[in-house]
Structure 1
Amino acid sequence: MVKVGTYFAMTLGAFIFWQSMDKLHVWIALHQDEKNERLEKEAEIRRVREELLRQQANQRDSLA
């Protein structure tokens, strides 16, 4: 009876561990995706800002 109880407890513990690791991996992957999206948005904003500054500089040069 002890062997059966131990087997059941170990099986349940392994299942819980497996599920928690699976949820942890999903959580990590989601946060990495969010971080990558944020970095891409920031890079796009910098690129657009630099382009606008270049256009403004060209307009000032052409007016002067």
Structure 2
Amino acid sequence: MVKVATFFAMTLGAFVFWQSMDKVHVWIALRQDEKKERMEREEEIRRVREELLLQQAKERDSLA
């Protein structure tokens, strides 16, 4: 009886472990995707800001 209970407990423990590891991997992947998207948005903002500053500098130079 002890062997059956131990086997059941170990099987249940392994199942819970693998399910939690799967959830951890999904969570990590989502965090990495969010980080990548955030970095891409920040890069786009930086690029647009540089273009706007260059455009403003050209307008100032043409007016002067």
TM class, shorter-length: over 0.9
- Unmatched segments (≥5 aa) in structure 2: none
Structure 1 ranges of 4+ moved more than 4 A: none
Q: Percent identity?
A: 81
Give the number of equivalent residue pairs: 64
Structure 1 counterpart of 2:57, which letter?
A
Aligned partners of 1:40, 1:19: CA distance in 2, in Å?
Answer: 32
- Unmatched segments (≥5 aa) in structure 1: none
Aligned partners of 1:2, 1:18: CA distance in 2, in Å?
Answer: 24
Aligned partners of 2:40, 2:11: CA distance in 1, in Å?
Answer: 43
Structure 2 counterpart of 1:30, which letter?
L
Match of 1:49 in 2: 49
Aligned partners of 1:30, 1:13: CA distance in 2, in Å?
Answer: 26
Q: Which TM-score applies when normalising by structure 1?
A: 0.97
Match of 1:3 in 2: 3
- Measured against aligned partners, the alpha-carbon deviations of 1:2-59 in whole angstroms (never above 9, x if no partner) come to 1111000000000000000000010011011111101100000000000000000011
Q: Aligned Cα RMSD in Å?
A: 0.5
